[in-house]
Structure 1
Amino acid sequence: MGDCRPLGFLLGLPFALVALLLSVVGAVVWVIGSVLSCLCPCCICCTGLANMAMALVKLPVKILRWFTKQIPC
């Protein structure tokens, strides 16, 4: 059956949905941070804020992968 772990996927789904909401917030913050860092390159904090927002955007995928790895077939 390979790497199929449907139980881990189902258990992680509610957490991934919450992370999906956070990723939408992260995408908005990323756009604002990117615009601010382009307008004023001296604002190095905007770059860090944009990088943190990108981590929020990737969060749902990380959560689902973590849950599927925790439960054996």
Structure 2
Amino acid sequence: MGDCRPLGFLLGLPFALVALILSLVGAVVWIIGTVLSCLCPCCICCSALANFAVDLVKLPVKILRWFIHQIPC
């Protein structure tokens, strides 16, 4: 049947919702970090902060994939 793991998807949903909230925070931080790095290019910490925020935005997908792969079909 391939890669069917609906139980892993259902178990991962609450954690993905928390990660979704974190990703919204990450999007706001990314926008602020991008604006700050455009205003002052010498401020290297703002670009690192923006990269961290991008990782936060990708977090819900990573968590769902991890949960789906942990539970066998």
Shorter-chain-normalised TM-score: which range?
A: over 0.9
2:56 aligns to what?
A: 56
Which stretches of structure 1, 4 residues or longer, exceed 3 Å deviation after superposition? none
Within a 5 Å distance, the mapping from 1:59-70 to structure 2 comes to 59-70=59-70
TM-score (norm 2): 0.99
Report the Cα offset of residue 4 of structure 1: 1.1
How many residues align structurally? Answer: 73
Q: Which amino acid in 1 is paired with 2:50?
A: A
Q: Which amino acid in 2 is paired with 1:37?
A: S
Cα RMSD for the two superposed structures: 0.4
Q: Which amino acid in 2 is paired with 1:69?
A: H
2:26 aligns to what?
A: 26
Aligned residue for 2:42, secondary structure, equals: coil
Deviations 1:12-45 (A, max 9, x none): 0000000000000000000000000001000000
Task: State the distance in 1 between where 2:2 and 2:35 align.
Answer: 44
Residue 14 of structure 2 is aligned to residue 11 of structure 1: no
